[in-house]
Amino acid sequence: MESSVTDRLWDKDVQEFISACRQEKLSDIALDHRPGADGRALLTVSATYRSRKGRIVPVGYRWADSRSGLAAEVYAGKAKAPAGVELDGLFRVALRAGLWADRRHVAFALLAVTDVQSKADGVSSRLQLEYLKVLGGKEPDFAVTSLSGRDDSPEAPDRKTLLARARELTMQTLNDLAYLYGTRTGQDAP
């Protein structure tokens, strides 16, 4: 398993994810997934931002319930905004979070969180496919049908177990990379 999965660490997409985790305004990056309505796993990202005065504020990208279903949003402390908001809207999130003096830095930290989520989303499906191939020991069509969620065979419970294990390994890999290449609050953060 190590050879095919660790070879992925040198892919361009994985390297972009690693560089996104190296944001100087973020520390303690953690990824998780929330099940969507269609059975897909939606990635969430949480991190911390340290203000110039030393205040630690949780920031992140999450999926929240809305009238039209699940909607992506970014947050800083208790303030939140839709994930697609432009830079001016991110300044307002910082103001609502009580970080007037750090509004520019908070806005860029929220952009960095969005970047981490975007890069992780691109990498996770390919990593999950690699893990399915390795865990299933079958041809690639097994992995593709498992990702699509087709349950028309007698092995469907086994496929669900393999898919859950592949998701778990993918999240573990992404969190390990974020831990290794990201900043931690215990260190001197800018």
Highest mean pLDDT range out of 6-10, 25-29, 64-68, 83-87? 25-29
Q: E strands of 10-157, at which residues? A: 27-35, 41-50, 56-66, 69-76, 79-82
Separation CA 180–CA 25 (nearest Å): 16
What does the pLDDT look like over 105-158, one tens digit per residue?
999 999 999 999 999 998 988 888 888 888 877 544 544 444 544 444 545 568
Quote the DSSP letter at residue 38: T
**Per-residue confidence (pLDDT) for residue 110, from 0 to 100:** 92
Span 3-10, mean pLDDT? Answer: 56
CA 39 to chain CA centroid, Å, is 17
Separation CA 176–CA 143 (nearest Å): 24
Integer-rounded Cα radius of gyration of the chain: 18
Top pLDDT among 129 and 1 is at 129
What does the pLDDT look like over 33-90, one tens digit per residue?
887 766 677 899 999 998 888 889 999 999 988 888 888 999 999 999 998 888 888 8
Q: What is the pTM of this model?
A: 0.80
Helices 103-136 and 87-96 pack at an angle, to 10 degrees, of 110
**Per-residue confidence (pLDDT) for residue 5, from 0 to 100:** 53
What does the pLDDT look like over 161-179, one tens digit per residue?
888 898 899 999 999 999 9
Q: Find, among 124, 136, 121, 155, the residue nearest to 1 by Cα.
A: 136
